Amino acid sequence: MNHSAIETNALRKEFGAKVAVADLTLTVQRGEVFGFLGPNGAGKTTSVKMLLGLVARTSGEGRVLDAPLGNVAARAKIGFLPEHFRFQDWLSGREFLDLHARLYGIETENRKARIEKLLTRVDLQDAANRKLKEYSKGMLQRIGLAAALLNEPQLVFLDEPTSGLDPLGRLIVRDVIQELRAQGTAVFLNSHLLSEVEVTCDRVAFVKNGRVIREMGLRETRNEIEIELQVKNPTPNLLRDLAQFGKNVRQWNGSIHLETDGESHIPEINRWLVAQGVDVYKIGAAKPSLEKMFLEVMGEDARAG
Amino acid sequence: MRGIFTISQLTIHETLRKRVLLAATLLGFAFLVIFALGFYFMNREVINSPRGAETQAQRALIYIFLMMAGLYAVNFLMVMMAALLPVDTLSGEIRSGAIQSLVTKPLRRAEIVLGKWLGFWVILAGYLALMGGGVLLIARIVSGITPQNIFIGLALILLEATLLLTLSIAGGTRLSTLANGVLVFGLFGLAFIGGWIEQIGALFQNETARYVGVIASLIVPSESLWQLAAYNMQPALMRDLAMTPFSPASVPSNAMVVWALGYTLLVLLLGVWSFRTRDL
Ligand SMILES: Nc1ncnc2c1ncn2[C@@H]1O[C@H](COP(=O)(O)OP(=O)(O)OP(=O)(O)O)[C@@H](O)[C@H]1O
Ligand SMILES: [Mg+2]
């Protein structure tokens, strides 16, 4: 068995003259939560559709779960929540899940328990007998998420799964993704909500104009860390003296930042500050935010395209 | 195969749930009631006719004529159902994106097309059994007469409906709902007019008109199938008169049936291919 859930090489999709995806080359490991980030029109949805066989590739190669793109048998092990979650809206929530479970070929005896469990998971037990037609946007997205998990997939594609959800719904999605990771399910996540991506993803790729321009892990233990602290009345002397603990000491956004080579410096700095008689309001590691990185990678000129 | 049956079940379920079938059935019953009343009073007129001159054969002709008129109406209802019921099934789901959750399941795209086709076919066959059976039963109860070759006749009507159904499904793989409806009805209209041109051409022995009509029938053999059905169900006497709208002056040959079958199969395969190769 191959270890990657997704492997593509120079996948390309053109819609007439419009190049939606120019060159998609990436690998997603089994069991990995992979974030796929990029501005509007970067080609994220089109990439997912190519991987699922919804859209035929113009050129390039790809394998998903060790099968060619669009392979019918492999789809039994794949879950998918589309970007525009529109379903058979004349069915009730429960009927809808039952239909999709049947389409996955799940046996009758397993179906019922699985459906009830998922209805509870997405918090829709109370609405299960109502028609999808009467569902709100967020409810539809929840039922769509449940449908994507019916077959206990090895790989799930979630195309902006929280776009219609309230904070509670987002929390559910976050937990679901974490559960999936714990079960060893790979997740391919398209999202614009970088704070969520930050907490859920193992690795991210940035796409721009249909090209992966940067890939990076979010779980790597970095030695270099940035420390952020807030003290009462910082003086120039204090800033100068802090340089003994690390480099690049600067004041930014109401707090002091400095780069050090490890977390062990945090209590050390704290002790030193207290000994100097400085009032410390806050001290800790400043994570470089994904948002900042996104803007950096994409450049200021990133336009929807 | 499992996929085909699941999808056809879903299709039937959806048609029932959306009350399209209920509306069609109510309409059909209204029609049957009117037909029964008409037939009943006409029959009384014939029996009580003061002239008493009508021979047995003449009476039979009147009955058959009425019956053919009833079946013609049934044929028309079938055409409507066949063209309209499936007109939105693929185009609508493609447009809304609902189709994406189907085609990403472990089933072939062909199974989706064939499953929908089968589901609608079962509905059409059921509708024909109800309506055609109703007309024949009413006629039989009132007059005691049943046209000949009814099974051949009904089978030909079903084939006509199947052909239009297949066109509607195939068109829906690429066209919008509206364009698809226009296409299917346009083709039906073409065949309809072509059929009449052919009949009139035959009546006046105008070869060019006949030729035009035959070409139209080849493009869409729906109307020819009805004419063949009508021809088969009426007695020789009425055929020879060739004076009613149900007695074709130019009888489509049996080769037309073969052509219609092949045509339907071809359009169905084309529809499957067209759905398989499109982006969703
Ligand atoms: N069916 C289509 N025909 C023509 N162009 C298309 C089609 N689908 C997508 N595109 C174009 O391809 C590009 C990529 O679209 P895509 O939907 O993949 O972007 P995205 O990254 O998912 O954007 P968003 O963040 O807004 O969801 C866009 O420029 C879009 O206009
Ligand atoms: Mg998108």
Question: In sequence order, which ranges of chain B are alpha helices (DSSP H)?
Answer: 2-17, 20-47, 56-84, 89-96, 99-103, 109-143, 150-172, 177-203, 207-219, 222-233, 236-241, 255-276
Whether A295 maps to a domain, the answer reads: no
DSSP annotation of A278: P
Host domain of residue A281: 223-286
Confidence check: pLDDT of B200 > 80: yes
Indicate the pLDDT class of residue A80, thresholds 50, 70 and 90: very high
Whether A299 is covered by a domain: the verdict is: no
* Cross-chain CB nearest to B106 (options A85, A90, A105): A105
Under a CB-based contact definition with an 8 Å cutoff, are residues A162 and A187 in contact? Answer: no
Q: Do A114 and A246 sit in the same domain of this protein?
A: no
Task: Classify residue A292: in a domain, yes or no.
Answer: no
pLDDT in tens, A106-155: 998 889 999 999 999 999 999 999 999 999 999 999 999 999 999 999 99
Asked if residues B134 and B39 have their Cβ atoms less than 8 Å apart, the reply is no
Using the Cβ of A87 and the Cβ atoms of chain B, whether some distance falls under 8 Å is answered with yes
Express each pLDDT in B37-51 by its tens digit.
Answer: 998 888 887 777 666
Residue ranges lining ligand 1, Cβ < 6 Å: A 15, 18, 20, 38, 40-46, 83, 305
Query: Number of folded domains in chain A?
Result: 2
* Cα separation, A236 vs B241, whole angstroms: 115
A46 and A90 together in one domain:
yes
Q: Are residues A23 and A157 in the same domain?
A: yes
- Taking the centre of ligand 1 as the mean of its atom positions, its distance from the CA of residue A3, in whole angstroms, is 30
Complex ipTM value: 0.85
In a domain, A161, yes or no: yes
- Contacts A50 to B, Cβ<8 Å: none
Going across the sheet that includes A33-37, the strands are A67-68, A59-64, A4-15, A18-29, A211-217, A203-208, A33-37, A186-190, A155-159, A78-81
Among the listed residues A278, A234, A274, A291, the one whose alpha carbon sits nearest the alpha carbon of residue A258: A234
pLDDT higher than threshold 70 for residue B53: no
Contact A257, A282 (CB under 8 A): no
Say yes or no: A41 and A108 in one domain: yes
**pLDDT tens readout for residues B218-239:** 899 988 899 889 888 887 767 7
pLDDT in tens, A141-191: 999 999 999 999 999 999 999 998 999 999 999 999 999 999 999 999 999
Q: To test the ligand 1 pocket, which listed residue (A46, A57, A189) has its Cβ within 8 A of the most ligand atoms? A: A46
In terms of domains, do A266 and A212 share one?
no
Q: How many structural domains compose chain B?
A: 1
Strands of chain A, DSSP E: 4-15, 18-29, 33-37, 59-64, 67-68, 78-81, 155-159, 186-190, 203-208, 211-217, 225-231, 247-252, 255-260, 280-286
Same domain, A259 and A214: no
Expressed as residue numbers, the domain containing B271 is 2-277
Same domain, A153 and A252: no
Minimum-distance ligand to the CA of A159?
2
Q: Residue A46: nearest ligand to its CA?
A: 1
- Tell if the CB–CB gap between B105 and A89 is shorter than 8 Å: no
Q: What is the pLDDT of residue B52?
A: 55
Three-state secondary structure call for residue B73: helix
Grade residue A260 by pLDDT with cuts at 50, 70 and 90: confident
CATH number of residue A58's parent domain: 3.40.50.300
A294 assigned to some structural domain: no
Same domain, A40 and A176: yes
A100 and A227, same structural domain? Answer: no
Q: Are residues A176 and A35 in the same domain?
A: yes
What are B9's two structure tokens? 């079940």
Domain final position from A182, A197, A218: A218
Are both A183 and A279 inside the same structural domain?
no
Q: Is A302 a residue whose pLDDT tops 60?
A: no
- Answer whether residue A111 is part of any domain: yes
Which are the contacts of A72, defined by CB distance < 8 A and separation ≥ 6? B106, B107, B108
- Residue A4 CA to ligand 2 center (angstroms) comes to 24
Closest residue in A to B109 (Cα) is: A72
Task: Sort out which chain A residues have CB atoms less than 8 A from B90's CB and list them.
Answer: none
In a domain, A296, yes or no: no
The CATH number of the domain holding residue A271 is 3.30.70
The rounded distance, in Å, linking the Cα atoms of B249 and A23 is 65
Same structural domain, A168 and A238: no
**Quick check: is A124 in a domain?**
yes
Is residue A160 within 8 A of residue A192, CB to CB? The reply is: yes
Of A56, A90, A99, the CB nearest to B17: A90
